[in-house]
Structure 1
Amino acid sequence: MMAVDLPAVPRVLIAEADPWARDLLKQVLLTVRCDAQLALCAHGQEALRQLNEQPFDLVIADRELPGVDGLSLLYSMRQKKRYPLLPFILLSSRSDVASVREALPLQPTAYLTKPLNIEGLTQRLQDLLLDAGQSVSCEIPALAPGMDLRTYLERRREESEGAPLMADVQVAVKRSLNPNGLDLKLLEQEIGTDPQITAVLIAAANSAAQHHGSSVQTLAQALHRLGSAQSMNLILGLALKRCAKLSDAVLADYAERYWDLSLHTAEFGRTLARMFDLDQELCYCAGLLHRLGDLAVLRCMQEWRQAGGELDEELIGEALFEQGAGYGSALRTRWRLPLELRELIAAIYQLGGGVYSREALAMNLAAQLARLTPNEGVEDVVKTRAARLLKVGLPELARLRKN
């Protein structure tokens, strides 16, 4: 590998069309150098413009970029006769000998094939961005003067990272590994109750770079489309993010309660789907994801507290009441979750006017059952529109509740 002397704060360009792969690269790089100045782009023409306008200390680019591909970007940089050569990591889904040989004369710092080996990429970045034995620590930016929690959460809504992880990612991956690689069925069992992982994998499987054929609606479908290596990369990448786990005991307790409600709704949804011969996993998934917004608010409140903000039970309750629905809607839209799944999640909260699908009725009924306290009976639930239209009587609801 070439020897390079990088400045104290490196400027890095990441050019990758797929938003989930781009985010993964960003997280891995920030894990190595949290102080790096990053420029992210999805199109080769934009990457070329930035490279021509300002100096960078490292480029990570996908060979299959739209517009100007990564190999052309590398060629353009090598034409500049810079010495030492600009460190350039070329990523590609093409691993055949001819493709690799085509790139070698341009002297890429590394040619890495997809799905990426995250450990290998991390080691490459450490070699390039750190001296031997060096590590970089970064302070969490302080809050702006006069910032209050409501304003902070409103500003974070459109760029929040989503919910905290409820599953132990490292344990889940370790248990799912066998001598032949990652067992997707075992992995599904390990992570299938985690709303954040489920939502991200479904979104990633439906992204432009992956999409072919019908949309992915469930975790099992997402794992199948992404494959074992990419699924593992995305899951491990989630664990690298800030506040991936809630360290504040009060916030973690709130998260457990919302997660428990999600799981109960999901299980009731699956049971009702089985009763009415509906898509069980789709109904389970809708139930699991319906409190994603509340969980995301809790994660942002963890960030608020780490930045020096004050929190108490009253502020937490108000924030969840005011922001939970908006955060959930923003995430589902930004992540482009499939419309059918989003409609089922909406039905959990309220049945709108018009004709209802049986899945929507089942999920609305599932949520009502999940919200019952231990001392409440099902007498009021049997009178609801969902129960009446599904023709579910008191004996069936009582039996469902008991099970």
Structure 2
Amino acid sequence: MNVLILEHHVPTAELLETVVTGLAPGIRVHRCSTIAEAVRAWHRYSPSLLLSEWSLPDGSALALVRQIRAQDKQLPILMLSAHSDKETVLTAARLGINAFIAKPFDVALLHRRLQPLLRTDADPGRPGPPPLDRHLAEAATGSIQLPTDIDQQTVLALMERGQELSPAELARHWRGQAALSARLLDIANSASLGRAGKPIGKLEEAIAAMGVEMALNQAFALSLDISRALADPRLGERARHHLQQAEQVAAIARAMALSLGQEGAAFYTAGLLSRVGELGVLRALQDYIRLGGAISAQQIDDSLSRWAADYGNRVKIQWHLPLPLRELIGAVHLLKKNSADRGPLLMYLAAMTVAGQLEQPDILRLMRRVGLDPERWQRPAPRP
């Protein structure tokens, strides 16, 4: 199912994408920033829904709407505009625009208005899901999503305090939220790279770059996506395991960095995101079940083994994570041969600490090489 978003303001486009992808599994979003791009995307993807800003850098979106309505009277169209005067609303109605929302918009209202426009109920004539491997391959080429269980009421409570919250306070509150952290880094880097080319690798910096209000809106949009929760208990159990591993690596990597006089935030972020590949695969498997597919426990484990590294690599690129952060994340799983950079070495040692592998001679040598006392970091080996 394809959805076309026409919005030139990157943070707003990212917010719209978050809301749309939460409506149903299998949604592919195609974002455009100009009318010319949108015309090409409309012809290429035959979308099931169009969300568009009223005014674009190359003119009014009404030109696109007129072109679409000349050939397609049924495509649902939702228009967003900073102008909500009577004439604007009447113009939208005359052109067959299905819904109109004034900007700045309320995320919950947008979610409610979109639900009847995008039919997500089961279609008896719709073919069954594809083979599992094909589904995972197709999901990997789109916008990879992660499971999350963000509580709406908690976010709403934070939104009520939005005026008094600083980026640092919000970052501390969301410190353990891997999916949310990754999404905010993605959005901040999309805007930052397009504007100044400076990558962002820390959650606090990402929140500061986009503003507390936009960060809270993104969190609330994620909380509305009930499909992000892993309803299958087998998937949920595996997700909890990988999240626990990521949180432990994050905490130890940060502590190791601080013990050596280094700033620990980047190490914590890298550890927290070190299992995004596994989480992305688990979310894709949950989507497959929602599409009517059946999966055995062996298929779950095989899918994780086969696809987690690919999903993780794609996420790091797709979400515009800066290269130094990507290298820290990658070192959790594989240390480059003859690596001399202390950062990746610390991440690797943190992962080995969680795995209970510090007694290996080569690991002990690495510990001493970076200036860490092996006895301080010894942990019991994890149970199988």
1:112 to 77, 87, 102: 102
Normalising by structure 2, we get a TM-score of 0.78
Distance of 2:3 and 2:18 partners within structure 1: 13
Partner of 1:169: 151
User: 1:150 Cα shift?
Assistant: 2.8
From the superposition, tell whether residues 52 and 164 of structure 1 become closer, same or farther in structure 2 (CA, over 3 Å).
Answer: closer
In 2, the alpha carbon distance for the partners of 1:12 and 1:331 equals: 21
8 A Cα contact 1:15 1:61, kept in partner: yes
1:35–1:138 Cα contact (<8 Å) kept: no
Match of 2:264 among 280, 292, 300: 280
Q: CA deviation at 1:160?
A: 5.0
Question: Cα–Cα, structure 1 residues 149 and 17, in superposed 2: closer, same or farther, change >3 Å?
Answer: same
Change (3 A) 1:308 1:43: same
1:61 is paired with a residue whose SS is strand
Counterpart contact for 2:53–2:61, Cα < 8 Å: no
Render the CA deviation track for 1:340-395: whole Å, top value 9, x for unaligned. 110111111222135532211111111111122xxx7x422774453132132333
1:15 and 1:368, CA in 2 relative to 1: closer, same or farther beyond 3 A?
same
Q: CA 1:45 to 1:282, structure 2 compared with 1: closer, same or farther past 3 Å? A: same
Q: Residue 37 of structure 2 aligns to which amino acid in structure 1?
A: E
Query: For residues 32-181 of structure 1, what are the structure 2 equivalents within 5 Å?
Result: 40-47=31-38, 60-62=51-53, 65-66=56-57, 68-69=58-59, 72-74=60-62, 89-91=79-81, 107=91, 110=100, 112-114=102-104, 116-122=105-111, 138-139=121-122, 143-144=128-129, 147-159=130-142, 161-165=144-148, 167-179=149-161, 181=163
1:394 aligns with 2:374: yes
TM-score normalized by the length of structure 1: 0.75
Task: Report how far residue 274 of structure 1 moved.
Answer: 0.3
Q: Sequence identity of aligned pairs in percent? A: 25
Structure 2 CA distance for partners of 1:348 and 1:316, relative to 1, 3 Å: same
> Is this contact kept in 1: 2:7–2:32, CA < 8 A?
yes
Q: Distance in 2 between matches of 1:172 and 1:41?
A: 33
1:186 and 1:265 map into 2 onto residues whose CA distance is: 22
> Does residue 350 of the first structure (1) align with residue 334 of the second (2)?
yes
Q: Give the CA RMSD over aligned residues.
A: 4.1
Question: Post-superposition shift, 1:179?
Answer: 4.8
Query: Does residue 1:198 correspond to 2:189, yes or no?
Result: no
* Higher Rg of the two aligned structures: 1
Give the match's secondary structure for 1:252: helix
On the 8 A contact 2:171/2:204 being kept in 1, the answer is: yes
CA, structure 1 residues 215+400, in 2 after alignment: closer, same or farther (shift >3 Å)? Answer: farther
SS in structure 1 at match of 2:228? coil
State yes or no: 1:329 paired with 2:317: no
Q: Which residue of 2 aligns with 1:6?
A: none
Letter in 2 for 1:25: L
Change (3 A) 1:379 1:400: same
Quote the Cα distance in structure 1 between the aligned partners of 2:192 and 2:363: 47
Could you tell me how far apart the structure 2 residues matched to 1:319 and 1:192 are?
28
Report how many aligned residue pairs link the two structures: 365
Matches of 2:239 and 2:291, distance apart in 1:
20
Matched, 1:379 2:367: no
**Aligned-pair CA distance for 1:57:** 11
Q: Which amino acid aligns with 2:128?
A: L
1 CA distance for matches of 2:79 and 2:298? 49
Change over 3 Å in CA distance of 1:396–1:160 after alignment to 2: same
2:8–2:32 contact (8 Å) kept in structure 1: yes
Check the 8 A contact 1:18/1:207 in 2, yes or no. no
Q: Are the aligned partners of 1:28 and 1:240 in contact in 2 as well (CA < 8 Å)?
A: yes
State the shift of 1:272 in Å.
0.7
Counterpart of 1:96 in structure 2 is none
Q: Distance in 2 between matches of 1:297 and 1:36?
A: 16
Question: CA offsets per residue over residues 87-145 of structure 1, 9 Å max, x none?
Answer: 772445xxxxxx889x959945757334x32134346657xx67xxxx9651286534x
Q: Which residue of 2 aligns with 1:218?
A: 202
Give the direction of change, closer, same or farther, for the CA distance of 1:310–1:20 in structure 2 (3 Å limit).
farther
Per-residue deviation, 1:398: 3.2
Match of 1:262 in 2: 246
Which residue number corresponds to residue 22 of structure 1? 13
- Alpha-carbon distance change, 189 to 324 in structure 1, aligned in 2, over 3 angstroms: same
Partner secondary structure for residue 247 of structure 1: coil
Q: Which moved more, 1:19-28 or 1:227-236?
A: 19-28
Whole-angstrom distance in 2 between the partners of 1:311 and 1:90: 40
Task: Note the alpha carbon deviations across 1:35-68, whole angstroms, 9 max, x for none.
Answer: 99987533222235678999999864335644x1
Is this contact kept in 1: 2:6–2:38, CA < 8 A?
A: yes
Distance in 2 (CA, whole Å) between partners of 1:263 and 1:362 is: 15
Structure 1: gaps spanning 5 or more residues: 1-10, 93-98
d(CA) in 2 for partners of 1:143 and 1:351?
42
1:236 to 191, 205, 220: 220
Deviation track 1:141-168 (CA, whole Å, cap 9, x = no partner) reads 6534xx4433332232222532211x42
Shift, 1:225, TM fit:
1.0
Q: CA deviation at 1:318?
A: 1.4
Stretches of structure 2 lacking an aligned partner (at least 5 in a row): 94-99
